[in-house]
């Protein structure tokens, strides 16, 4: 039996109060102190996420100077005041990992006392540990939720996981405030990503068993992900096209991805099925099905065939009427429930900025029957 869940029936969970958030933080920290996971995980989750990651630096260094008010405090307590996005327990891990320097020397222990005028350098690194971060009262557009999984419709502009330059205000922070259970799962149960400026459907696991099964399903290409995109220029030729072209780091710009020759550059195979829905002189509306999940895959493949996405300045697109991000939306998500095995299918209609763009360009959109790509 297939359960259809249109995203039009979404709801926004009530924002937690400040008192609720404080209680969640205490719960998370108490739970964390009972665990001894390393800062950087090397489990299968990393492999499942690596293809869809944002191209951010590996770490970020901050410098703090100890003020008069902090004189005599423990090092870890003083640092928390400078690193408001992180829990004290994560700061203690950074110290233990040798990533904190006090006056140019590796900090010996979290309990070390600091003096006014001391200089502290901290190297911040992405971590899969949910307990490293603090819950934040960010409303989630929940499409579906049960004891095992959560499906959301992510808005454009929301970063999925904390990373250098975006340590707070992310989906992970929102999940921690949504339910303390997410603090017990690596990366708060996030098993795949969408770019910051891509909107649409994502599934999140509520416990480790569900996460492991979803990660396995993602690795086996058993989770169907389908997108709508608005591209520059009129589409010419066959309305259906498969782009089967490897993707790797752009050798001329390490902050971009590109179609690469595997005999000359490192990269991975990538395949996208593209179907034309409508076209005018200035642009085309297309439906894309992913068979692989490489970083920026649809954006790179569309640019490689001469149709960069509207608004995608990274890959040759130009800003379009009323849209200041790439015109890309994850419209359909289908997978087997990780516990019950039931087939789940979810739909999310186009975001408002993309609807406006369609109207401005004169493109027509009629929802079409989705095509599974397991």
Per-residue pLDDT reduced to its tens digit, 102-135 = 999 999 899 999 999 999 999 987 676 667 788 9
Higher pLDDT, 91 or 86: 91
Residue 6: per-residue pLDDT: 58
Res. 231 pLDDT band, cuts 50 70 90: very high
Share of the chain above pLDDT 70, in %: 81
Q: Given this model, what pLDDT does residue 37 score?
A: 37
For the stretch 245-263, pLDDT in tens is 999 999 889 889 999 999 9
Catalytic residue list contains 278: no
pLDDT band at 80 (very low <50, low <70, confident <90, very high): confident
Which pTM does this prediction carry?
0.74
Report the share of the chain in percent with pLDDT over 90. Answer: 66
5: confidence class by pLDDT, cuts 50, 70, 90: low
- Condensed to tens digits (0 to 9), the pLDDT of residues 147-162 reads 999 999 999 999 999 8
Phi, then psi, of 173 in degrees rounded to 5 = -60, -40
Contact indicator for 148, 205 with CB cutoff of 8 Å: yes
Please tell me which of 11-20, 71-80, 126-135 the model is most confident about, judged by mean pLDDT.
Answer: 71-80
pLDDT of 21 > 80? The answer is no
pLDDT tens-digit profile of 164-202?
888 899 999 999 999 999 999 988 999 999 999 999 999
| Average pLDDT, rounded, for the chain | 84
* Overall average pLDDT of the 216-234 stretch: 95
Which among 195, 197, 250, 353 is annotated as catalytic? Answer: 195
Place 16 in a pLDDT band, splitting at 50, 70 and 90: very low
The predicted pLDDT at position 309 comes to: 97
């Amino acid at each position: 039996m297939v359960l259809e869940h249109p995203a039009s029936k979404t709801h926004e969970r009530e924002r937690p109060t400040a008192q609720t958030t404080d209680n969640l933080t205490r719960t998370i920290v108490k739970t964390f102190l009972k665990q001894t996971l390393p800062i950087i995980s090397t489990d299968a989750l990393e492999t499942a996420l690596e293809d869809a990651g944002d191209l951010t630096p590996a770490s970020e260094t901050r410098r703090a100077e100890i003020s008069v008010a902090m004189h005599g405090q423990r090092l870890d307590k003083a640092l928390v005041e400078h690193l408001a996005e992180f829990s004290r327990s994560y700061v203690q891990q950074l110290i233990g990992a040798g990533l904190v320097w006090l006056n140019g020397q590796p900090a010996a222990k979290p309990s070390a006392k600091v003096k006014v005028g001391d200089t502290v350098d901290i190297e911040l690194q992405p971590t899969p540990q949910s307990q490293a971060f603090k819950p934040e009262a960010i409303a989630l557009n929940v499409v579906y939720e049960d004891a095992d999984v959560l499906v959301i419709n992510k808005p454009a502009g929301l970063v999925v996981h904390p990373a250098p330059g975006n340590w707070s205000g992310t989906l992970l922070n929102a999940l921690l405030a949504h339910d303390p259970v997410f603090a017990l799962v690596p990366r708060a149960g996030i098993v795949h990503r969408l770019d910051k400026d891509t909107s649409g459907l994502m599934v999140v696991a509520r416990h480790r068993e569900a996460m492991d099964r979803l990660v396995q399903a993602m690795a086996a290409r058993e989770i169907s992900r389908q997108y709508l995109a608005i591209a520059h220029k009129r589409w010419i030729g066959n309305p259906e096209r498969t782009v089967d072209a490897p993707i790797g780091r752009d050798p001329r710009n390490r902050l971009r991805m590109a179609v690469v020759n595997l005999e000359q550059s490192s990269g991975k195979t990538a395949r996208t099925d593209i179907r034309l829905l409508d076209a005018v002189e200035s642009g085309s509306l297309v439906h894309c099905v992913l068979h692989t999940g490489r970083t920026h895959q649809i954006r790179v493949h569309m640019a490689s065939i001469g149709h960069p996405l509207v608004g995608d300045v990274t890959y040759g697109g130009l800003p379009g009427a009323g849209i200041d991000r790439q015109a890309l939306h994850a419209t359909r998500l289908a997978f087997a429930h990780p516990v019950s095995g039931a087939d789940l299918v979810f739909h999310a209609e186009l975001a408002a900025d993309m609807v406006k763009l369609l109207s401005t360009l004169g493109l027509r959109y009629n929802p079409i029957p989705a095509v599974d790509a397991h």
